[in-house]
Chains A and B, each alone.
Chain A
Amino acid sequence: MKTTAAAAAPVRFDPILLCAVLALVALGLVMVYSASAILAQDKLGDSLYFLKRQLMAAGMGVVAMAVAMKVGWRRLARLAWPLLLVTLVLLVLVLIPGIGTTAGGARRWIRFPGFGLQPAEVAKFAWVVYLSYSLAKKREKVATFSVGFLPHLVLCGVLVGLCMRQPDFGSSVLLVFLLFVLLFAAGTKLSYLVGSVLLALPLAYVAIASSPYRMKRVLAFLDPWAHRHDVGYQVAESLMSIGSGGLTGLGLGDGRQKLFFLPEAHTDFIFAIIGEELGLVGVTLLVALYAVVIWRGVRIALAAPEPFGTYLGLGLTSIIAFQAAVNMCVAMGLLPTKGLTLPFVSYGGTSLLVLMGVAGVLLSLSTASQGAGNRASRVGGEMREVAA
C-alpha cells in the first residue's frame, strides 16, 4: 500500500537543489565566456570557442542529470563494481602514451574525436558509489579494521597511485578525503582515521618534497609575493584579481586579469575572474549557491531511506563541497595549487558532465525521501520494516 501510494504521488525532485545547480551552471557559462573570450579570440580566432564547448557539455550534463534521475539511485548499488572497474581501466589507459594526452605537464585526458575524457573526474563519482555500496553492505563490520578499514584503504591507495602517475594531486587528495568522510560517517573507529593520517603525513611530505614542482607550489603558497614572477605567479595574479574586484567588482566582462595575466582563468582560476568582475557580491552569491547545494545535499542524505542512500548523498555532496571550498581557497592563497575545478562553474566537459550526473543522482535520491510524514519517521519506518 505504502509503496503504491509513493509511486502514485507525483515524482518530486528537490526544486531548491535543482535551481541551485542550474544557477551555478548558468553562472559558469557566463563566466567561462567572460574569462575565455579574449584567449579564445587570440589563440583560436573564435571568441565563442570555449563557451560553445561548455554549452555542449552543459547540454550533455542535463541529459546525464535526467538519465541519473531516471535510472534512480538504487540501481547504482548494482553498478558500483562495474563503475569502479571501468574507472580503473580508464585510469590505466590514460597513462599509456598515445591514448592519454598531455597538457600542462600532466597526462590527464583520453582524447576522443571532438572531446576529451578525464578519467579522474569519473573516478571521484565511481569511488563514492563504490564506497557507499561497500560500507552499506558491511554494516557493523565497518568498525573493524580488517573488513571495514583496510580494504578501502588499499583500494584507495590503488586509485590514488594511478592518479598520482598522471600526476593529479588534487583528485588524489579528493579521493582520500572522500574515503575519510564516508568512513567517518559509517562509524569507523576514529583511532584508525587519526592514526592513518599521522602515518600519511611523512608519506605526504616525501611525495611533496620528492617532486620539485609540488615543492615549488608549496613555496608559492607560503609566500606568493616572493615568487610572484615564477611559481607564485598564478596565485599572486589571482589574489590581485580578487582584491581589485572589491565590493561590487569591475563589472561583467571588464576584468583585466584575464588579459593573459592569469593563466587558466576560465578553468581552475575562474573564481578569480568572478571575484574581479562581480566583486564580493558575486562571491557571496556563489558561496550561497554552494551552501544551498551542501544544505540540500546533506538534507537529502539524512532523509535517505537506507544507509546506502545516506552514504551516497553524503559522498556526492562531499565531492561538490570539497572541490568548491578547496578551489576557492586555492584561488585566494589559503591552500597550495591543486588543480581542482570549481564545481559546475569551471570550464571542463568531463567535470561538468560528471558533476551534473552527481546532481542528478542527488535529485533522484531526493525523491526517495518524499512521502507522508517527516523524513526522520520515514527513515525510522524503513528501518522498522527492515527490522521486522
Chain B
Amino acid sequence: MRDLKATRVPEGNTRWLRLRVMLLGGLFLSLLAVAFGRAVYLQIFEQDKLRELAQDQYVRQIEIPARRGDIFDRRGTPLAQSVEVDSIWVDPSMLPDVRKASRALGKALKLGAEDAGELQARLVKARRFAWVKRQAKPQEVEAVKALGLPGLGFTKEPKRFYPQRELAAQVVGVVGTEGRGLEGLELAFDDELSGQNSRLSGFRDAKGRKLLVQGTLDPMEREGAAVTLTLDRHLQYVAEKALARAVEESKAVAGTVVVLEPRTGELLALANNPRFNPNTPESLQRETLRNRAALDTFEPGSTMKSFVVAAALEEKAIKADDVFFCENGAWSVGRHVINDTHKYGWLAPKGILQLSSNICMGKVAQALGREKLVRYYHEFGFAERTGLALPGEGKGLIPFPKAEVALVTQSFGQGLTATAVQIAVGYGALANDGVLMRPYLVSKVVDPDGVVLLENRPAEIRRVVSSKVARQVLGMLESVVAKEGTAPKAAMEEYRVAGKTGTAEKADPVARGYSDKRIASFVGVVPADNPRAVILVVVDEPKTDVYGGLVAAPAFKEIATAAMAHLAVPPSRTVAPEVAVAPVAPPAAAKTPLSPKPAAERPVVAEQAAEGAGTVRVPDVQGKVGREAVVKLLAAALEPQLLGSGRVVSQTPAAGVLVEKGARVTLELATRP
C-alpha cells in the first residue's frame, strides 16, 4: 500500500506521458487515414477524369492510312494499285548543325537550289518533326541513310501506282500526295477506295517520342474497297492506240473513243487523247486530265440523224419507202439557207442516212414535228446525265426549237449538245432492238471482307422505238459503209457494220457563230446483224481532212476489228445486202412518192445445214488461246464455257466426242508459268 502510494506521482506522470504518446500515435494514424482517404477519392471517384487526362498526354492517336483499294478492269487487270514507299523525316532538334545537315540532305537527294533552300527553311522552322522527302525513291533513301545523320526517320507511306501507265488514265483519275482522289474514279469512289483509316493508340513519352504501338487494330480500320470496272484493258489499249493515230494523222487537237456493249450498257473502253502518265504527277495538266468522253459536250452533227429517222418511223411520220426532195443542195428555211455537201435530188430515208443529206433530214424532222423530235432525243438519253459516276459528267443541252430553222438544224445535230457517251448509248438503244440500256463503267465495288458495296447489272431504262424500227434503221445505216456511203472506210470484211458519220461545225464562242473548225466523228454498230459493240470515234478539230468518214472511220475499223477478235464474235454469216444506190430517180408524178429503186434482195439468212442427225464432234481446242477456242467451238455450233484465262489446258467433253449441237463445252484455261 505504501509502495503504491509512493509511486502514485510518477505513475500519474507516466500515465500522462502514455496518454500524450497515444494521442500523438492517434494523430499519426489519422494523418495516414487522411492520405488513405484522399487515395480512395482519387482512385475510385476521380479515376475516370484523371485517367483521361493522363491518356491525353501519353496516348497519341497515330492515324495510319488504310491501304487504298485497287481499281481493276473487267478481267481483273489492275489499273491502279497501292504500293508502300519510304518517306524520310527528321527531328531537327537532334541535328548538331541544321544548316549543314540540310545541305548534306539536299546533296544526297540531288535537290535543285530552290528545293534545297525550301528544305533548309523547313528544317530550321520545325522543332521536332519535318519531312525531308515524301515518297522517296529507294536510291534516295539509300543516299540519305548513308549520311548517318542523327534524328532521321523513315516511314512507309502508301503511294498510288498505275501499272498500265497512260491506259484509261482519264477514267481512273489520279490521287494527290495526301492520298485523296483528285480526278476521275479515284475521286468519284474516293470514300470507298480510301477505306477507313485506322487509329492506333501509340504511347509516347514526355519527350514526344512514339514508344510502342500497342493493342488491337482499330476495329474501324478497313482497307479500301476494290473497284472493278467494265473497261477491258485490251480494248482500251486498242482504242487508245487507234485514237492516237487518228488524232496524229489528222493533226487534230484531241479525240475520244467510246466502246459500248449495247446489250448490257457496259462501257468496254473510254479513250481520250492526248494522254498522260498518272505515275508522273509533275506532267499533269488540267487539260489532259479531263475525261472528255464523259465530261465534254459538243454539237454532235450528223450522227444524230439516225435518231430522227428512227423517231419518224416509230411515229409513222414517214415510211421507209417515202422519198424526199433534197432541193439539189440548197434549201431556204426562213432567212437561212441549208446546204448539203453534194447536190441530191430525191432520197428515201436510207439514202438520206447513207449520203447524210441535211436538207432531206430537215424535211423528215418537219414531218416528225418539234415536240416529238425533242421528246425522242430525250428518250434516247440526251440532255440527261447518264449516271456514269464520273465527277462532272456533262449533261448536254437540247433547246426547244422554236424557229423552223432550229428544228431543221437540230435534225442534223447542230444547235444542241451531247457527250460522246450519250451518243454511243443512243446508238446502243438502236443496236439493242430499241431498248435503251443504262450505261455503266463500274461493275462492282467490293470491300476487303467480300461485302459488295455496289454492283451494277444491266438495266433497261426504257424502250425508245420498236424492235422493228430499230432493226430497220440499223439496216439503213449499213448502207453508210458501202462504197457509195459516207464511210466506206469503216466497212469490214467479215462483219456487217451499221454506222453513221458526223462532221459537225464547231461553234465559235467568241464570234458567236460557227467557225471553220470541225468535229469529225463516226459511230458504228458491229456486227450489224448481231450487235456486240457500239464504237464511237470523235476527233476534235482535224486539220488534214475534216470528214468523219475519212478521219474517224479508219480508227473505228481498227478498233472494231480488234474488238471482234477479242470478244470472240463469230463473223457475220450473211454478207451485207447490196446497197441501194442513191439518189433515186424522182417519181414520175412528184405528188405520189414512189418507192425508191428496190434494194437488192437481202440474202436469206441461211440456216446452218444440219450435218448428221443434229450431232457434232467436239473439236480439239487444247492449247489454244481462249478466243480461238471459242471461235472454233462456235463454228461447230457448240456453246463454250470458259473457266479461268490463258490457254486451254483441258476440255470436257474431250475432243472427238459426239455431242448434240448446242451442247456446252467447258474449257479450263490457265496461264502458262
Where the two chains meet, the residues of A that have a C-beta atom closer than 8 Å to any C-beta of B are 38, 181, 184-187, 239-247, 256-257, 259-261, 275, 279-280, 283-284, 287, 290-291, 294-295, 297-298, 301-302, 307, 310, 314, 317-318, 321-322, 324-326, 328-329, 332-334, 379-380, 383-384, 386-387
Contact = CB atoms under 8 A, between A and B. Distances in A.
Contact of B47 (A187, A246, A284, A301): A246
A255 to B, nearest CB: 10
Contacts of A186: 17
* Interface of chain A, main secondary structure: helix
Contact of B51 (A184, A244, A291, A387): A244
A65 B640 CA distance: 97
A318 B47 contact: no
A185 B32 contact: no
Given A240-B50, A260-B207, A302-B21, A383 B28 contact: no
B350 to A, nearest CB: 85
B121 interface: no
B28 to A, nearest CB: 4
Contacts of A307: 17
B7 A380 contact: yes
A210 B577 CA distance: 114
Given A325-B32, A325-B35, A387-B10, A294 B25 contact: yes
Interface in B266-315: none
Given A279-B43, A280-B40, A332-B38, A244 B55 contact: yes
Contacts of B46: 243
A275 B28 contact: no
Interface of B: 3, 6-7, 10-11, 14, 16-18, 20-22, 24-25, 28-29, 31-32, 34-36, 38-40, 42-44, 46-47, 49-51, 53-55, 57-58, 203-207, 211
Contacts of B38: 328-329, 332-334
Contact of B206 (A261, A328, A334, A380): A261
Contacts of B39: 242, 275, 280, 283-284, 287, 328, 332
Contacts of B51: 240, 243-244, 246
B43 A298 contact: no
Nearest to B40: A280
Contacts of B31: 321-322, 325-326, 329
B53 A240 contact: yes
B215 to A, nearest CB: 13
A322 B32 CA distance: 9
A302 B42 contact: no
B213 to A, nearest CB: 14
A317 to B, nearest CB: 7
B54 A325 contact: no
A43 to B, nearest CB: 12
A303 B8 CA distance: 18
Given A184-B24, A261-B57, 4 more contacts: A287-B35, A321-B31, A325-B28, A332-B38
B21 A294 contact: no
Nearest to A386: B10
A299 B43 CA distance: 32
Contacts of B24: 181, 184-185, 298, 314, 318
A280 B21 contact: no
B491 to A, nearest CB: 79
Contacts of A334: 34-35, 38
Contacts of B34: 325, 329, 334
A326 B54 CA distance: 24
A297 B24 CA distance: 11
A265 to B, nearest CB: 11
13 contacts: A240-B50, A243-B54, A247-B44, A259-B58, A260-B206, A279-B43, A283-B43, A287-B36, A301-B21, A302-B22, A325-B32, A334-B34, A379-B14
A92 to B, nearest CB: 31
A246 B17 CA distance: 42
A375 B637 CA distance: 118
Instruction: Give the 6 A-B residue pairs with the shortest CB-CB distance, closest first.
Output: A243-B50, A298-B25, A259-B205, A321-B28, A325-B31, A244-B51
Given A247-B43, A259-B211, A298-B24, A332 B7 contact: no
A186 B21 CA distance: 9
B118 to A, nearest CB: 33
A243 B43 contact: yes
A185 B54 CA distance: 44
B211 A284 contact: no
A321 B205 CA distance: 34
Contacts of B21: 185, 298, 301-302, 310, 314
Contacts of B42: 239, 242-243, 275, 332
A53 B57 CA distance: 31
B405 to A, nearest CB: 79
B21, B31, B47 pick with most chain A CB within 10 angstroms: B21
Nearest to B41: A332
A295 B11 contact: no
A325 B38 CA distance: 11
Contact of B205 (A241, A242, A260, A314): A260
A109 to B, nearest CB: 26
Given A261-B58, A287-B35, A332-B39, A294 B10 contact: no
A244, A310, A324 pick with most chain B CB within 10 angstroms: A244
A244 B36 contact: no
A344 B209 CA distance: 33
A58 B124 CA distance: 49
A384 B21 CA distance: 21
Contacts of B211: 259
B206 A332 contact: no
Contact of A283 (B3, B29, B36, B57): B36
Contacts of B32: 287, 290-291, 294, 321, 324-325, 328
Contacts of A260: 205-207
A329 B28 CA distance: 13
